[in-house]
Amino acid sequence: MTPDASTPPSAEPAEPTRASVAFTVERVHYDHRDAAALRAAQRAELDARYGRDDHEPGEVPTADSVPVFLLARDAAGTALGCGGLRPLGDGEVEVKRMFVRPEARGSGVATTLLRALEDEARALGVTRLVLETGTAQPDAMRFYEREGYSRVPLFGAYVGSDLSVCYARDLEG
């Protein structure tokens, strides 16, 4: 029911919105079961978007190559999203496996995860974050651009890929 002039605003409790989801962010091992489940959900979504399972060029991320991995959880402990950092050297780190479950999108989980990853990178002395997303992910491209990432030339294993779009952001101290 929508309140009108005859209904006091406090007469009905507000319906919860996705933007009001309470969540926490924690650092976990890359192979943690909830992290693995989120990465599998991401993989399934990307396979569906691209119509194939060979849409990521380069080395497959592992626990050894992604030493920082974060999970966002709701108040009940359900894993809502994830993201990690893969060191590249020369003060750069790549954001890997950034993903938020569809039902939690629009709630602030992705932004909070990205800011937490940036904080983790700063703590490691990193001055620049880079990332790759795909041409079939316009929502991800809009997100990164909104969050201050600039499109950059393809780097590393992504050079020559017709499916990749790369972004970067310089981190302040």
Q: What is the pTM of this model?
A: 0.85
CATH of the domain at 120: 3.40.630.30
**What digits encode the pLDDT tens for the residues 111-155?**
999 999 999 999 999 999 999 999 999 999 999 999 999 999 999
Instruction: Of 52, 42, 51, 69, give the one whose Cα is nearest residue 133.
Output: 42
9 within domain boundaries:
no
13 within domain boundaries:
no
115 within domain boundaries:
yes
Measured CA to CA, the distance from residue 10 to residue 172 in angstroms comes to 44
Looking at per-residue pLDDT, the higher value among 6 and 82 belongs to 82
**What digits encode the pLDDT tens for the residues 23-57?**
999 999 999 999 999 999 999 999 999 888 877 77
Measured CA to CA, the distance from residue 160 to residue 58 in angstroms comes to 11
7 within domain boundaries:
no
3 within domain boundaries:
no
> Is 90 exceeded by the pLDDT of residue 158?
yes
For residue 124, the enclosing domain spans: 18-170
The b/e string for 35-59 (b: 16+ C-beta within 10 A; e otherwise) is beebbebbeeebeeebeeeebbbee
User: Alpha helix locations (H) across 23-72?
Assistant: 33-50
| Distance (Å) of CA 81 to CA 4, 46, 97, 124, 159 | 37, 15, 10, 22, 28
134 within domain boundaries:
yes
**Phi, then psi, of 141 in degrees rounded to 5:** -60, -45
129 within domain boundaries:
yes
The total number of structural domains that make up the chain: 1
Note the pLDDT of residue 11.
40
Note the pLDDT of residue 12.
39
Note the pLDDT of residue 20.
53
Residue with tokens 């310089």: 170
**What digits encode the pLDDT tens for the residues 20-30?**
568 999 999 99
**What digits encode the pLDDT tens for the residues 74-110?**
999 999 999 999 999 888 999 999 999 999 999 999 9
2 within domain boundaries:
no
